[in-house]
Structure 1
């Protein structure tokens, strides 16, 4: 029986949104979820820092856990370091990129918003996606480090202020043409964790999309015909800095099948 895990990597807990979608398709697959808590958050770091840090960490994680496939479940890390990771590791690597194409497919007003981290929304990769798939649309972008912190707080079981979600969304709707936006891309894997709060703060009829379901289908395709255990095993969460904050996540991690916490 092939017990090699699928390894998910993010700066924090946002990648759990991708892990959840993948577990729904591959319920007996072994999983390792790695959070770079020592480097969190990525959205406020420079491209140079991320380009060096991510391949080095994934090399160490691959050596320890021997995964069959790695998922960079972080838009910022993917848009900056995906090519370098693929060059460094002889493994299938699945990245996470803003779901601009599916957003365009459902937009009626031909105006979409891209809500991500500051580092993600300024990347040339996003320029290319917008040019290829949204050439006939107005594409507005807004970066929010605060929304990442709100998502992390929610997963820790802490209450968050509903007014903050509206204020963040105003970063899109307050731009010229923003009133036309009817579809918003959650271009950070943290943001689907607070999509209910975002939807409640958005104007009626605005829809939110993310890439988690598509990434899960890609993983299932790449691992088709591979062997899996007969029943779900114990999932592992690993933190680059384990402290009281990461230990407090244990109940939330367990809901995603991650019953053991380790340190890198």
Structure 2
């Protein structure tokens, strides 16, 4: 993989602002990388959609984004989209694609009790892909799963500086700890990229439980794939693209600016 055009961006894609947790890690290792972040607000939330809907929607949207922005690499910063549509996107587009999947492997390496939790969307936690991850990386361990779609809305609200009821975080954690063996839970996988944005709130609602997500691993992978490429000599203004109404992004502008995303556009 090579890119002789320094202005060719990294393209991040998610259903909303969850992928900012991945972009944050990438910016630390590649501070001069041009960035385009695309949020499919017209399709939010993905967790309640069928597999067929996601397999049709995600490759089509990414095809349009590739035509417009000519990225050097795509990061699908959405666990739901990746567990369902990653192979379809790779087959459809002639651009390197990095995906994100639940961080079960690092969780298995961290746990002291052998009981791991997975918080995700309903669409993610039911995927056979998660079963395969458990068999490959956490054989003999217990994986407790809980769908917590309310955390997606909590993360979106937090970045809009709206108040969120702390009960939301307590209920999400109880969704795991109320399982059999839930009292032995010591590591929780944040299986939706929205969830690291409210990790501090989840930690406050738990008792010493550790959390892990895949953002650091994705950042390392992107750095490796682009190691020999050309970058601009200084940071550039990043672009935030929405499939929804641009006016709905106004409340997010201050938060987006902290991630280097100052241009707001529609798709």
Using the size of structure 1 for normalisation, the TM-score is: 0.98
SS in 2 for 1:184: strand
Aligned twin of 1:248? 251
Structure 1 residues 15-164: aligned runs within 5 Å: 15-164=19-168
Equivalent in 166, 172, 175 of residue 179 of structure 2: 175
Work out the CA distance in 1 between the residues paired with 2:7 and 2:215.
24
Work out the CA distance in 2 between the residues paired with 1:163 and 1:218.
36
User: What is the CA-CA distance between 1:120 and the residue it aligns to?
Assistant: 0.3
- CA RMSD across the alignment: 0.7
Work out the CA distance in 2 between the residues paired with 1:77 and 1:20.
20
User: What is the CA-CA distance between 1:245 and the residue it aligns to?
Assistant: 2.3
Aligned twin of 1:262? 265
Kindly indicate whether residue 16 of structure 2 is the aligned counterpart of residue 12 of structure 1.
yes
Work out the CA distance in 2 between the residues paired with 1:240 and 1:161.
28
Which runs of 5 or more structure 2 residues have no equivalent in the other structure? Answer: none
Aligned twin of 1:196? 200
CA contact (8 A) 2:246 2:264 kept: no
Work out the CA distance in 2 between the residues paired with 1:78 and 1:173.
27
How many aligned residue pairs are there? 263
User: What is the CA-CA distance between 1:244 and the residue it aligns to?
Assistant: 3.1
Q: Which range moves more in the overlay, 214-223 or 235-244?
A: 235-244
Work out the CA distance in 2 between the residues paired with 1:246 and 1:126.
33
SS in 1 for 2:232: coil
User: What is the CA-CA distance between 1:247 and the residue it aligns to?
Assistant: 2.1
SS in 1 for 2:7: coil
Structure 1 residues 209-228: aligned runs within 5 Å: 209-228=212-231
Work out the CA distance in 2 between the residues paired with 1:246 and 1:145.
21
Work out the CA distance in 1 between the residues paired with 2:11 and 2:260.
13
User: What is the CA-CA distance between 1:136 and the residue it aligns to?
Assistant: 1.9
